[in-house]
Chains A and B, each alone.
Chain A
Amino acid sequence: MAVFVYAENINGVYKKAALEAVSYAKAIADQAGDTVTAISVNPTDSSDVLYKYGASNVINIKDEGLKNFSAKAFAQAVNEVADGNTIVFPHTTDASSLAPMLAVMKNYSLITNVLEAPESLSPFQVKRRAFSGKGFMHAKAEGNGVIITVSQNAFGVKESAVSGSEEVKNLSVANEDTKVISHEQSSGKLDLKEAEIVVSAGRGMKGPENWGMIEDLANVLGAATACSKPVSDIGWRPHTEHVGQTGKAISPNLYIAVGISGAIQHLAGVNSSKTIVVINNDAEAPFFKSADYGVVGDAFQIIPALTEKIKAIKG
């Protein structure tokens, strides 16, 4: 069973989610007694990065036509080189866009949002996130080939160095249906889904002008910032920061919720966080029932004080 993995890069640099997908592919390959082949499109990073996590073959697709992302064109390119019956993707926006197209092209089963190493390889069976984090599904693939997308921060990045070799494939995939007009990337901001620590706030912050202290706390922790649905609905924070059932589902190591009461829809998006801290002035806030640590009190006093204390221990 040859295991292939799509190593997604951003501006040529491998994403953490790609390294996690390679780690996952390596775990499957070890179980099956096989090797991992990573596929990347126009990377600038060295393949050594992928060897470190267990890919012993790296196929670098070089194609000027794939400079910009198009789900259809990328799926065609991956289809040309992925010559195995197991293909692993990270569950990023781009990878989870091209994986369904590839599944149809190859006539393979597709299991998305995978959380753990497979329970069985033949038939392929694995635990996945379902019901927006309110439940789990054990999904079994029918047929001969399977494509999976690995939920970010679920399996973890695991080093497993191998010696590897690289192959360059020059393709020229037709990419005529879509054209990128503009591309805005906010620099220096941590990606919410990849972040290991997330500081999030809700209506308890009383207004967007008070978010500075949330950002200060996030900065000392090296964290991304997020918000509850009402906050993004009012326009205090952008939609991209909304975590919850209809926003983003995240799984950081530490989730700090400030002034968020903890509606069931919000919990759905964050309850797979490994540690949850809730800070709220309402001792009856339902979120405390789902937290590991809780502080009842005034966020406007607690957050600056906590920021100073964390700054002190971080030296």
Chain B
Amino acid sequence: MKILVCISSVPDTTSKINFTADKSAFDKNGIQWVINPLDEFALTKAVKLQETQGATVTVINVGDAATEPVIRKALAIGANDAVRVNLDPKDSYSTAKEIAAVAQNGGYDLILCGKESIDYNGGSVPGMVAQLLNQPFVNASVGLDVNGSEATAVREIEGGKETISVKLPAVIAGQKGLVDEKDLIIPNMRGIMSARTKPLQVVEPASSEVKVQGVSYDSVPPRAAVKMVSPDNLDELVRLLHEEAKVI
């Protein structure tokens, strides 16, 4: 079985988000980059399938050379090899097109990704890849088993869960629950050393059609100063919520 895992390089979750002075772009100064946490669940799941089913795991990233440390981390976690499409991604569509172009020729049985990236939060790439490849798509997956040419995926639905059988090849977008947080793989020294010699292929982009432009960016406006209420005066809290904020 061949698995392709799509990973995005995103600002570390503790990052403060700033924009350039003219607000036209995200300010990358001082940012630490990590594998998108939701993609990490997908990558760990793929590595588990590699261990239990002898799958080969290829990671793909659409990004410039600056994303290579993040790709090497994915290799240290256990992916067999990697492909980097040499394009600074501009929108979900152009990213999906590149992933689909690589996947088209790779004969992958399963494409795994996080359900969205924690930077641009498009949540669009996995579904677009599935459609470009004309494959079934399961989103928000919190469980996955593979049995021959079929997968059984559990997806989160509003107020519940649904278990689905899916014919492979398919695209599955995962989130927390696909594997438990405690099962995420922290690379050990052996993994880090072997990642240095694993193949990382760089390919040039197939097309560069962009469908959505980020015109400008805003930070979240600060809230007014907090009003503190004494724990002995909860009547005042109830009054404020009822009369001032009008939320109860």
Are A and B part of the same complex? Answer: yes
Q: Judging by beta carbons under 8 Å apart, are A100 and B126 in contact?
A: yes
Determine the chain A residues whose CB is within 8 A of the CB of B92 once the complex forms.
100, 110
8 Å CB contacts to A: which residues of B207-247? 210-220, 223-224, 226-231, 234-235, 237-238, 240-242, 245, 247
Contact of B237 among A111, A139, A295 (CB under 8 A): A295
- Whether, in the assembled complex, A292 has its beta carbon less than 8 Å from a beta carbon of chain B, the answer is yes
Q: Does A81 contact B (CB under 8 A)?
A: no
Known contacts A112-B121, A112-B123, A254-B241; A72/B160 CB under 8 A: no
CB contacts (< 8 Å) of B128 on chain A: these are: 100-101, 103-104, 110
Query: Shortest beta-carbon distance, A272 to chain B, in Å?
Result: 8
Contacting B at CB under 8 A, from A262-315, are 263-265, 268, 271-272, 274-278, 288-298, 301-302, 305-306, 309-310, 313
- CA distance in complex: A246, B213 (Å): 25
| Beta-carbon contact of B217 and A139 below 8 Å | no
A289 to B142, CA, bound (A): 34
Cβ of A265 to closest chain B Cβ, rounded Å: 5
Output the least CB separation between A235 and chain B (Å): 9
A131-B19 Cα distance, complex, nearest whole Å? 11
Question: Within residues 132 to 191 of chain B, which ones have a CB less than 8 A from any CB in chain A?
Answer: 132, 135-140, 142, 152, 155-167, 170, 175-177, 181-182
What secondary structure prevails in chain B residues at the interface with A?
mixed
* A107 nearest CB across to chain B (Å): 9
Complex interface: chain B residues within 8 A of A302 (CB): 231, 234
Q: Which of B19, B123, B127, B157 is A185 in contact with, Cβ under 8 Å?
A: B157
List of A residues within 8 angstroms of B118 by Cβ: 131-132, 245-246
Most chain B CB neighbours (cut-off 10 Å) among A131, A245, A272:
A131
Name the contact of B217 in the complex, choosing from A138, A291, A296 (C-beta under 8 A). A138
Question: In the complex, how many residues of chain B place their beta carbon closer than 8 angstroms to a beta carbon of chain A?
Answer: 83
Set of chain A residues within 8 Å of B219, measured between Cβ atoms = 134-136
Contact call A97/B137, Cβ cutoff below 8 A: yes
Smallest CB gap from A132: residue in B = B118
Number of interface residues of A (CB under 8 A): 99
For the complex, give the distance between the alpha carbons of A171 and B124 in Å: 26
Residues in A neighbouring B210, C-beta threshold 8 A: 142
Q: Which of A191-226 contact B (CB under 8 A)?
A: 191, 193-194, 197, 221
Q: Which residues of A contact B125 (CB under 8 A)?
A: 100
Partner of B136, one of A72, A232, A310: A72
User: CA A185 – CA B158 in complex, angstroms?
Assistant: 8
Q: Could you say which of A103, A180, A239 contacts B163, with CB atoms under 8 Å apart?
A: A180
**Across the interface, do B212 and A110 meet the contact criterion of CB distance under 8 Å?**
yes
| Among B10-18, B43-51, B52-60, the stretch in contact with A | B10-18
- Give the 4 A-B residue pairs with the shortest CB-CB distance, closest first: A100-B127, A297-B231, A177-B136, A97-B139
Which positions in B face A, CB cutoff 8 Å?
11, 13-17, 19, 26, 37-38, 92-93, 96, 118-128, 130-132, 135-140, 142, 152, 155-167, 170, 175-177, 181-182, 210-220, 223-224, 226-231, 234-235, 237-238, 240-242, 245, 247-248
Interface pairs (21), CB distance under 8 Å:
A10-B158, A75-B131, A93-B140, A97-B140, A98-B127, A100-B123, A103-B124, A136-B218, A182-B162, A186-B159, A245-B118, A253-B247, A264-B16, A265-B13, A265-B14, A276-B223, A289-B226, A292-B227, A293-B240, A294-B229, A296-B231
Beyond A136-B220, A277-B241, 19 extra complex contacts between A and B, CB < 8 Å: A69-B162, A72-B137, A97-B140, A101-B137, A105-B131, A110-B212, A131-B26, A132-B118, A136-B218, A136-B219, A176-B167, A182-B162, A189-B159, A245-B118, A254-B248, A271-B220, A302-B234, A306-B237, A313-B238
